[in-house]
Chain A
Amino acid sequence: MKPNDLILQTVTKVVAFIIAIFAVYLFFAGHYTPGGGFVGGLMASAALVLLLLSFDIKTVQEVIPVNFRTIIAIGLLIAVVPGLFSFFFGVPFLTHTFGYFNLPIIGKTALATVTLFEVGVFLVVVGFTMTVIQTIGESE
């Protein structure tokens, strides 16, 4: 006898998107206000875990067909490779810089290479969390 998950699933379909946009907000808030790649990544994983809780692992893997171990590797690459470019400019490893650019719609924006590093952190956290939870969940 399987219980009727109608309410949980319907609410999840709404709330998961709100959690996802909150994760994106936290990620971009990290430069001047509390937030950043780590918290953003955890929050993004929280949205995925909510999906896992209300649906099952097979459904979520069909919806998001990525291998989360690959995500960890990609995240580490993204975090390290921009740090290597510092050698071309004769500054120490992982030196980050920033500049002001005029983007077409947004206008004057400060773009920092630290954001790339944070993207790496974000991806590693998401990949790690989801790998742990899926491996524990799949082992019968």
Chain B
Amino acid sequence: MSFQLLLNFLIAFTWMFLKNEWTGTSFLVGFFWGALILLALRRFFPQRYYMEKVYAIVKLLFIFFRELFKSNIAVIKDVLRPKLNIQPAIFALPTHLEKDWEITTLSLLITLTPGTLVMDISDDNSTLYIHAMNAGDIDETIEDIRNTFEKAIMEVSR
């Protein structure tokens, strides 16, 4: 990923030197051609083509916005209800993620989507302890987190 990005920057700079234009526009044009060249020669790299990773990051961002919207509406419903109808609970979520930044991203995503809140991480970084506002469907919540956030983060770091 980083090596391909560095190569792309190198191509963009070479383009700027060849055109003798030291501007942002010519850098962008060179970057575009560099991305195309790397796409053509992507079989040479052991990792996947890095634009796929960029796409995965953007996708993660959009998933986050969608979930934020959905869950905030859910919380508004709970707040405006005349009779409080919640069942708080704390449950453990075993996670497959290993790197520090992955676990952090997952925790922040879970925390920022209301209804669930990460309270603690076990010492071996394998389990997240989550406080849920509605405990009626814990298994469903776990599956939900698995299918959206964890999958998207794994897409990025694959």
Contact = CB atoms under 8 A, between A and B. Distances in A.
Contacts of B118: 7
Contacts of A11: 104, 108
Bin the interface of chain A by size: under 10
Nearest to A14: B101
Q: In terms of DSSP, what is the predominant structure of the interface of chain A?
A: helix
Bin the interface of chain B by size: 10 to 19
A4 B123 CA distance: 6
A6 B125 contact: yes
Contacts of B125: 4, 6
A90 interface: no
B103 interface: yes
Interface in A1-48: 3-4, 6-7, 9-11
B120 A6 contact: no
16 contacts: A4-B121, A4-B122, A4-B123, A4-B125, A6-B100, A6-B103, A6-B104, A6-B121, A7-B104, A7-B108, A7-B121, A9-B100, A10-B101, A10-B104, A11-B104, A11-B108
Given A6-B103, A6-B125, A9-B100, 8 more contacts: A3-B120, A4-B120, A4-B123, A6-B100, A6-B121, A7-B118, A10-B100, A10-B101
Interface of A: 3-4, 6-7, 9-11
